[in-house]
Amino acid sequence: MSRIYLFKRFERFWHWAQAALILTMMLTGFEIHGAYTLLGFETAVSTHTTTAWALIGLWAFAIFWHFTTGEWKQYIPSDKPGRIFAMAKFYAWGVFSGDPHPYKATPERKHNPLQRLTYLGIKLAVNPLIWITGLLYLFYNSWGGVLAGADLQVVAVLHTVGAFLMLAFLVAHLYLITMGETLFAQLKAMITGWEEVKE
Residue 168 in this model has a pLDDT that exceeds 70: yes
Cβ count within 10 A of residue 134: 23
Label residues 81-108 b or e (16+ Cβ within 10 Å = b): eebbebbeebbeebeeeeeebbbebeee
pLDDT at 139: 86
Structural domains for the chain: 2-10+20-197 (1.20.950)
| Alpha-carbon gap, residue 30 to 103, rounded angstroms | 37
Share of residues in the chain with pLDDT > 90 (%)? 60
Per-residue pLDDT, averaged over 80-91, amounts to 88
Q: Could you report how far apart the first and last alpha carbons of the chain are, in Å?
A: 6
Per-residue pLDDT, averaged over 95-109, amounts to 87
96 falls in which pLDDT band (50, 70, 90)? confident
pLDDT at 17: 97
Higher pLDDT, 106 or 53: 53
**Distant-in-sequence, close-in-space partners of 198: CB < 8 Å, separation ≥ 6:** 1, 2, 181
**Residue 169 · residue 18 · CB < 8 Å:** no
Higher pLDDT, 180 or 129: 129
Question: pTM of the prediction?
Answer: 0.87
**Distant-in-sequence, close-in-space partners of 131: CB < 8 Å, separation ≥ 6:** 56, 59
Phi, psi of 129 (to 5 degrees): -60, -45
Residue 177 in this model has a pLDDT that exceeds 90: no
Query: What letter would DSSP give residue 130?
Result: H
Higher pLDDT, 79 or 56: 56
Residue 143 in this model has a pLDDT that exceeds 80: no
pLDDT at 99: 87
Per-residue pLDDT, averaged over 120-135, amounts to 94
Residue 199 in this model has a pLDDT that exceeds 80: no
For the CA atoms of the chain, what is the radius of gyration? 19
